[in-house]
Every structure is written in structure tokens, then in C-alpha cells.
Structure 1
Amino acid sequence: MELTQTTVNDLLARLGPGDGHMYLPSDLDPQALTDLLADRYGAPNTLVLDGFTDPTADDSRGGALLVPFADRTGMMRAWAYGDQWVGTGTVRDAEGIERPVLVVAHREVPEPSAVASDEDEDVDWVERLVRITGWTEPARRPDVDWAEVESRLGTALPSDYKRMVETFGVGAFDGYLDLNQEPWTGLREDGLLIWAGTEHEDLYCWRADGDDPDRWPVVVRSFDHQDVPFDCRAAEFVCRILVDPHHRFTMARYFDTHWFMRYGTHA
């Protein structure tokens, strides 16, 4: 079997949207399949390695992928994608032969409470973002030297943005909204700092006015170079575009269940 992204598409289509798995030819390279899925879905969780199951591999991290195989799994990597877990690895079949396998399982994320009303001033938007995405990983970048970053940029930065970077690290919300690990300064002459962007070339910025960065509003510099202001902070903006189907920049039309796609192994 020649492994390409088209092959992966065909295999996933055969499995369908529900729970399912298929054994693959014994001569298929499991690492090659893992690499193709990582190109598509980002860095995986490792559920099983050399026959040893991660004790934290519960349903929130893809544990449902292991259910069909009991203790016969030699290796399993897992990716979140919308309301689905995708996994690949090696499993002993009914004859005891270790074979590559592709698995899909339903992914359930606890229903986040509705987006807070404008009257609610005490929302922890980063914590809400953790709930919306079903994020269960430890903080990916807890030791960022923000003093050095802020000194180099010549400005303090919003606290919710710093918490997002520390919590999620390198990656993209719904595999779409890339979180910059420090702001880009390419629009500084326009008074904007860029904290995220999308594959559609929208740039998510702050209007860096005033001495209190926690009061900087979000501005979207759209792909056609129009500036669209929003009277909110970065984490609130991300929450709203994930779950509000009426938001101008909504992502809710694409997915009902959301996730954060990790890139690489940045810790």
C-alpha cells in the first residue's frame, strides 16, 4: 500500500464518522502513517508506547481508541479533530500478529456554558477556552520569560494572551487560528500588534493604545486590509468566534466541538 494523504482520506472515509477500526497490511510502516496524520492533525498524544499504557489516557485524551483492543495494543497515537478521535499504532490481531491499525472514535467535550452576556464582568475567558476545547494537557509553556519578551518589544502585554501562550503553547485553535508565541510587530506603524492569524490571511491584533494592555481592544486586519474593531480582549474574542455562529469571524459554522491542534513537541 502506497501511503499518501489521498490514501489516508480513503481509509478514513471507509471507517466513516462513527467508532471503528481497521487492520492494515503488515508491511505498512506505522511511522509513515503517523507522520501523515501528524501533518494533518498536528502533534499527537501518545496513549501506548512499547505496550505500556499512559495512566492518564482517559476519554479526555483519546482513551476510547483503545477500547476495541483490550491489552493487545503495542503503540497508539491519538489526535483530536472536532467531535472525533483519530488514532494509529500497532495492535496484535486475533492470531497474535502485530499489525498496523487505524482507529476512529467519538470525542466528547463537556458542553461549555453559553458565551457570557455582556453584563458578566467576572468571566475567566482563558478557563472558558480550556473548557470549550476540552484541553487536558499540562501547561505547554509555563516558563516563558515575559519580562525579556516585553523588554525587547518595548511594551507590556495583555495578561490573558500570556496565559493562552503558557497554557496552549504552539498550535492553532480548530487547526485554523494560529496563536503567535509572541506578538508580531509588522503593523506597529498602524498602532497594531498581531497576536494570531488564520489561513485566510486575517490578522488578529490589538490596538495598542494606552498604558494598560489589559484594556487594549482586538482589531481584525482582514485579508483585504480592512480593520474591524471589537471591544473585547483576545481570549474572549477566541471564545466567541469558536461558539457564536453569528459572529462576523465565526468558526462555529465548521465545527460543533472544538480543539487545539498542537504543533511539534514544544513544551
Structure 2
Amino acid sequence: MEPTQATVDDLLALLGPGDAYMYLPGDPDPLALTDLLADRYGAPRTLVLDGFTDPTVDDAKGAALLAPFEDRAVKMRAWAYGDQWVGTGTARDAEGIERAVLVVAHREVPEPLTVAPDVDEDVDWMERLIRITGWTQPAQRPDVDWTELESRLGTALPSDYKRMVETFGAGAFDGYLDLNQEPWTDLGEDGLLIWAGTEHEDLYCWRADGDDPDRWPVVVRSFDNKDVPFDCQAAEFVCRILIDPDHPFTMARYFDTHWFMNYQQRD
């Protein structure tokens, strides 16, 4: 079997939404299948490598994917996607033969906080964003040299944006909203710095007015070159477009669950 995205769709449909696994027919290339799933869900977490299980693996990191194989998993990589774990790799069958496998398992996702906070509530929008996306991985870029970057740009940057980059790294929310790892200055003449964008060519910016970047408002430069202002910071803006169906740039109409697709190089 030569795995393609179409065959992956068929296999996942056969497994269904619950806990299930299969030894794959036709001796497919496990690495090719890993690459196909990574194209959908981003960088995987390695649970088992050469028969050795990562000792930090627990229920919050995909341990349910290993349950069907007991100690027979040889290699297993995992993705968190909404309320489901998806894993692939190799495991030994009942005859002791190493074969490619595909496995899915239910994933407990914390209920996201509501979109609108209570009046006068002091909201940590980054913590809310982590809960909405079900993010469980360690910080991806904790050692960003912001001093060097801000010196090069000639301005300080909003603190919530810096936390987003440090936490999530390179990638896209719902595989759609790309988070820039440093702001683009293409619209500098208009007083705008671009911190994210979409495949629909909308650009998410700040109006860089004033000395306090944490007070810069978000401005969307739409694909038709119109500017739409929002009186909020970047992390709050992302939270709202993810789960508020009434937001003018909502993604809630297209995705029932929300995640962050990490683009970092796979091991």
C-alpha cells in the first residue's frame, strides 16, 4: 500500500472516533505515513523509539495510544487533534512480526473558558489560548533573544505576542492562522507591524502607536486592502476568532475543535 492523504482519510474513517487500532495491510512505509500525518497535524511527539518508551509519557501526552500494544510498540509518534489522539509507527503483532500501525484514542480536552470574560475580570488571554487549543507541549522557543530582535526592529513588542512565540513556536492555529516568529515591517509606512496572517491573505497587525506596545490595538489588513481595527491585544484577538462565531474574522464556523499545528522539524 502506497499511503496518500486519501488512503489516510479512508483508514481514519475505518477506525472511527473512538479507541481503535489496526495493523496496516500491504507493508506501507511507516515514515511516509508519519510524514502524511505531520502535514495535517504538525510536528509529532515521539512516544516510543526503538522499543523504549519515553518515561514522561502519561495520559496528557498520548499514553492511551500505547495501551493496545502493551510492550510490543517499537516506534510510535503521536499528535493531539481536538478530542482525539492519533498515532502511527510500528509494533509487533501476535507472531512477533514488526508491522506498521495506525491507532486513535479519545483525548480529554479541558473545557475552554468562555469568549467573553466577566466584567472587570483580569484575564490572562495566553492561558485561555492554551486551554482553547489543548496545547500540552513544552514551550517551543523559550530562549528567543527579544533584546536583539527589538533592537533590530527599533521598538519593543507586546508581551502577549512574545509569550505566544515562546510557547507555540513556528506554526499555525487550526493549521490556518500563521504566527510570524518576528513581526513583518512590510506595512511600516502605514504604521502597522504584521504579527500573523492567513492563507486568505488577511494580515493581522498592530497599529504601532505610543510607547507602550501592550496597548497597541490589533488591525486587520484584509485581502482587499481595507483596515479593520480591534480594541484588543493579539492573544485576545486569536482567542475570539477561534471560538466566537459572531466575530467578523471567525474561524469557529470552519473548525469544531482548535489546535496549533507546529511546523518544527520532525525527528
TM-score range, shorter chain: over 0.9
Identity of aligned residues (%): 83
Q: How far, CA to CA, are the matches of 1:129 and 1:56 in structure 2?
A: 24
Residue 145 of structure 2 aligns with which residue?
145
Deviation at 1:152, TM superposition (A): 0.9
Residue 219 of structure 1 aligns with which residue?
219
Match runs of 1:81-230 below 5 Å: 81-117=81-117, 119-230=119-230
Deviation at 1:117, TM superposition (A): 2.5
Residue 250 of structure 1 aligns with which residue?
250
CA contact (8 A) 1:221 1:227 kept: yes
Q: How far, CA to CA, are the matches of 1:25 and 1:118 in structure 2?
A: 53
Q: How many residues of Structure 1 are paired with residues of Structure 2 in the alignment?
A: 266
Deviation at 1:37, TM superposition (A): 1.3
| Greater alpha carbon shift after TM alignment, 213-222 vs 247-256 | 247-256
Deviation at 1:119, TM superposition (A): 2.7
Match runs of 1:19-38 below 5 Å: 19-25=19-25, 27-38=27-38
Residue 3 of structure 1 aligns with which residue?
3
Q: TM-score, normalised by structure 1?
A: 0.94
CA contact (8 A) 1:116 1:123 kept: no
- The unaligned stretches of length 5 or more in structure 1 are none
Q: How far, CA to CA, are the matches of 1:137 and 1:169 in structure 2?
A: 11
Deviation at 1:12, TM superposition (A): 1.7
Deviation at 1:148, TM superposition (A): 0.8
Q: Deviations over 1:116-144 (max 9, x none)?
A: 43633511111111122122211111111
Secondary structure of 1:115's partner? coil
CA contact (8 A) 1:26 1:100 kept: no
Secondary structure of 1:25's partner? coil
CA contact (8 A) 1:174 1:261 kept: yes
Secondary structure of 1:255's partner? coil
Deviation at 1:58, TM superposition (A): 2.0
Secondary structure of 1:150's partner? helix
CA contact (8 A) 1:82 1:255 kept: no
Secondary structure of 2:28's partner? coil
Q: In 2 relative to 1, CA 263–135 (structure 1 residues): closer, same or farther, beyond 3 Å?
A: same
Q: Deviations over 1:141-198 (max 9, x none)?
A: 1111111111111111001100110111111111111110000111111111110111
Ranges of 4+ aligned residues in structure 1 off by more than 6 Å: none
| Greater alpha carbon shift after TM alignment, 225-234 vs 62-71 | 62-71
Q: How far, CA to CA, are the matches of 1:233 and 1:5 in structure 2?
A: 37
Q: How far, CA to CA, are the matches of 1:26 and 1:97 in structure 2?
A: 14
Deviation at 1:52, TM superposition (A): 1.3
Q: Deviations over 1:30-65 (max 9, x none)?
A: 111111111222110111111111122223222221
CA contact (8 A) 2:75 2:91 kept: yes
Secondary structure of 1:91's partner? strand
Q: How far, CA to CA, are the matches of 1:10 and 1:26 in structure 2?
A: 15
Q: How far, CA to CA, are the matches of 2:153 and 2:162 in structure 1?
A: 14
CA contact (8 A) 2:74 2:89 kept: yes
Match runs of 1:6-85 below 5 Å: 6-25=6-25, 27-85=27-85
CA contact (8 A) 1:30 1:88 kept: yes
Q: Deviations over 1:196-251 (max 9, x none)?
A: 11112111110111111100000111122221111000001111111212211122
